[in-house]
Chain A
Amino acid sequence: MRYRAPATDALIATDLDTLTALFHRPSGITHLVASPVPEILAALAEPMTRDQLLAALARDYDLTDPDPRALAQRLDELVASGLVATS
């Protein structure tokens, strides 16, 4: 299964402090998210599998102990919220 973030122009992201406000244009829904969600969405500009995503995050953010289970949970939440689509 491959995951992908909304198109760049479908999402408005505004950093508030440690949290980021997201406005999802297609749904009109506002989301308030914390790291690593903005990083996951940035990485998923290109559709990829969960393993590919984990490798990309580990590479881009120098993760010493990437946690596949935690990533799976975040992805499930993002799919449920409508911010990430699967194919």
Chain B
Amino acid sequence: MRYVHRLRIGPVGFRIGSDWRAPIDQLADLYRAYPTADHADYTVRLFAARPWRRFVRPAVSIGGDYMLPEAAPLPLVHGLLAAEMAMNLQLALGHRRHLLLHASIAERDGRALLMTGESGAGKSTLATLLAANGWRFMGDEFALLDPATGLVHAFPRLISLKNQSVAAAAAAFPDGRFGPLLKATPKGDIRHLVPPVDAIGRMDEPAAPALLLFPRHGVAAEERDVPASEAFVRLTQASTNYVALGEVGFRALTTLVRDIPARAIDYPDGATALAQVEALWART
């Protein structure tokens, strides 16, 4: 690889190599507050599938230690997104140290709020709004649950904001550092936000899960308890490595859903969601 950057996000070290300079420069700038990885758990490669694709309508193919054969290349202008997707892919396919839950996490007083749901449910937006209101942002993509301790580890990579959530995050963090607006990506319009300073500075501090939330955006405010069995099923679906971890994953997940309460919240807007979360948290 012609251009390389090493960085550590929480307990995971990455070595990112690229055929092009631009994505690496963007990564190095947006991740400049993060430590350099002593060792790389995963290598990510952004490469041209054919040599001329470095120059002619440059198309960034995503690779690394783990690859998806059907992953479509992205135009170079979306190189930063390609790098983020490739880093997520390594974790999703290769990680075994923790049970991975597709969830965002916010922490307060050493206790973690886990928010999970399908794309568009508001995981990233809610975690971002909470971070602007006194919570520590621990991640918006993966919660890393340690099977040995039951603690969740932070994975505070760049916050990936889609479509309308970009404006909401800009309002919440008027002085926030944002990456370029990536228009018309396969995931819609995307803009990355650098997590707050304390999220990066304290990313080695795990937290004890205290509340599991299943948010759903765009509908009238409503709440209900989620039984442990339903939470269990939904989290097996929200985990990329539950099956791979076998018995270890089973024990970690059953312990989690039996130990902490789970609630589903529907919310029409961010302000309502914040009020719902604060009220729930006060009762937890």
**Once bound together, how far apart are the Cα atoms of A14 and B257, in whole Å?**
11
Q: Inside 8 A of B173's CB, which chain A residues have their CB?
A: none
Closest to B243 in A: A28
Judge if B236 is at the interface, Cβ distance under 8 Å.
yes
- The bracket for how many chain B residues form the interface is 10 to 19
A21–B4 Cα distance when bound, in Å, is 45
CB contacts under 8 Å to B, within A1-42, are 12, 14, 16-19, 21, 23, 25, 28, 30, 32
* Residues of A in contact with B, size category: 10 to 19
Asked whether A32 lies within 8 Å of B247 as measured between CB atoms, the reply is no
Q: How far is the CA of A14 from the CA of B233 in the complex (A)?
A: 14
Count A/B pairs, Cβ under 8 Å: 35
* Residue from B228, B250, B257 within 8 A of A30 (CB atoms): B250
* Set of chain B residues within 8 Å of A18, measured between Cβ atoms: 227, 229
Complex interface bits, B224-249 against A, C-beta within 8 A gives 1, otherwise 0: 00011100110010000001001100
Contacts of B228 in A (CB 8 A): 16-17
Q: Within the complex, what minimum Cβ distance (angstroms) separates B34 from chain A?
A: 36
Tell whether, in the assembled complex, residue B254 and residue A21 are in contact, meaning their CB atoms are under 8 Å apart: yes
* Residue on A nearest B236 in the bound complex, by CB: A30
Q: Contacts A12-B250, A21-B250 given; indicate if A32 touches B229 (C-beta within 8 A).
A: yes
Of A16, A28, A30, which contacts B227 at CB under 8 A? Answer: A16
Q: A28-B243, A28-B246 are in contact. Are A12 and B229 (CB under 8 A)?
A: no
**A21-B229, A32-B229 are known contacts. Are A12 and B247 too (CB-CB below 8 A)?**
yes
Known contacts A23-B247, A25-B247: A32-B233 contact under CB 8 Å: yes
Contact partners of B246 in chain A: CB under 8 A: 28
- Chain B nearest CB from A49 CB (Å) reads 32
CB-based nearest B residue for A28: B246
Q: Which of B227-284 contact A (CB under 8 A)?
A: 227-229, 232-233, 236, 243, 246-247, 250-251, 254, 257-258
The CA of A23 and the CA of B243, in the complex, are separated in Å by: 11
The interface residues of chain B lying within 8 Å CB-to-CB of A23 are 247, 250
Residues of B within 8 A of A (CB): 227-229, 232-233, 236, 243, 246-247, 250-251, 254, 257-258
Can you list the 5 inter-chain pairs with the closest CB atoms, starting with the nearest?
A19-B229, A16-B228, A23-B250, A14-B254, A16-B229
- 5 sample A-B contacts, Cβ–Cβ < 8 Å, listed by A number: A14-B250, A14-B258, A16-B232, A17-B227, A17-B229
